[in-house]
Each structure stands twice: as C-alpha cells, then as structure tokens.
Structure 1
Amino acid sequence: MNNLVRNGLVIGVSKLRFAIVDDCTKDETAETLQFLILSLESLCKLKVRRIRIDNGTEFKNNMMELFCLKKAIRHEFSAPYTPQQNGVAKRKNRTLIETARTML
C-alpha cells in the first residue's frame, strides 16, 4: 500500500504511511480488519469495495460475512493450495525455502 501511495498509483489517497502489524489472535482478526476498513474509509474518504484474503478460518465467520454484507464489500477468497493467488509474500517465501533446500 505504501508503495502504491508513494508512486502515485492510487487516486485520492494522501501520503499516509500504512502499517499492518500481525499481533492479534485468531479471534481478534475479524474485529481488527473491520477497524482497519472503517479507519481507511474515514481517513481517505473512499469506499472499500473488495477484500481478497486467503482461506484462513479467522476470516470465514458470520461476523465478517455480516460486516461485508452491511458495507456492500465483496468478500473474496483465494483458491486453497495455490500460492500464485496468495500474493508476492508467499511466492518469495516459497523461493526462499527452495533456495535453502538447494543449499542443504
């Protein structure tokens, strides 16, 4: 997100610094994501239209479904066991693991 904002690839978003800290437990994840969405919408005056996440059970619950329905947000899941759809971080992680195995 920071890279997109810094390079001017997002229209209407001011030069804010975004940071996501992964220190919440599984039962706090939905509440934290809801807080993040509401904060982004109020700060940037833009509507979140879609959320794409992996198939983690912390995101597949009634609370998230109801929140997304209420806010008219598309709640999309990536296909299970396909790292191609899970983003750059998981591909880099797979590359690092393969490199380590090769070195061993």
Structure 2
Amino acid sequence: MRIVSINGKRYVLVIVDDYSRYTWVHFLRSKDEAPAVIITFLKRITVLLQSPVIIIRSDNGIEFKNQVLKVYFDSVGITHQMSSVRTPQQNGVVER
C-alpha cells in the first residue's frame, strides 16, 4: 500500500542536472502525469538557462517510454538514453 500525501500525491519524479548536481523534485498523483511534467520542466529550464537540454537519461519505467515524450524529444533534438534493466548504477546521482 502506497502512502498518500496531504495533496493526494503518491509518486516522486526526481530530476538531476548531471553537471551541477542541482536537483528538482516533482510530486505526482499518478505516473501518467510524468510526460507533461517532464515536457513543461524542459521548456522552463531551457528558457531559464538559455541553453538547450541535449541528453535525458532515465530508467525503463513505462512513464518514460511513450510516444508523447518520443515526439517531443525528436522535435527539440534531445537524445533519450535509458538504463539497462536492473542496473540502478547507470542512473547515477538519482539513485543515491
């Protein structure tokens, strides 16, 4: 049984900048929210930093393997790398 927060959120999406180690945390009600949150985050961070995101690395969760993200990544030139199954070491800082 998953513990629900006060706002009804059950999942955590952690985003880490590999260079600076700066970390953002987003709380989600369901995993279905992940693509929209990721796309909104990438648009905001690109404007804020005035620099494009080049590579995204994620695990093999179904929330990261969908057509919505694939189309968006292709449209803005982002390479999506996925870690191998059962190898959290490949996700580096996020798994620590």
TM-score by length of 1: 0.66
Q: Whose helix proportion is higher, 1 or 2?
A: 1
State the identity as a percent. 30
Give distance in 2, aligned partners of 1:68 and 1:89: 21
2:3 maps to none
Determine the C-alpha separation between the residues in 1 that align with 2:69 and 2:32: 11
For 1:58, the equivalent position in structure 2 comes to: 63
TM-score normalized with structure 2 length: 0.72
Offset at residue 20 of structure 1 (A)? 1.7
- Residue 27 of structure 1: how far off its partner (Å): 0.8
* Alignment CA distance shift 1:18-1:77 (3 Å): closer
- Confirm whether residue 83 of structure 1 aligns to residue 88 of structure 2: yes
> What is the number of residues matched between the two proteins?
79
Q: Quick check: 2:57–2:91 contact (8 Å CA) kept in 1?
A: no
Aligned-pair CA distance for 1:72:
0.6
DSSP-derived class of the 1:20 partner? strand
Q: Which has the larger radius of gyration?
A: 1
Query: Post-superposition shift, 1:25?
Result: 1.6
The CA deviation string for residues 21-66 of structure 1, in whole angstroms up to 9 with x for no partner, is: 2334211100000000000001110000010000000010000000
Matched residue, 1:26: 31
**Runs (5+) with no aligned partner, structure 1:** 6-16, 93-104
Cα RMSD (Å) of the superposition?
Answer: 2.1
Counterpart selection for 2:51 from 33, 46, 70: 46
Q: Which runs of 5+ in 2 are unaligned?
A: 1-16
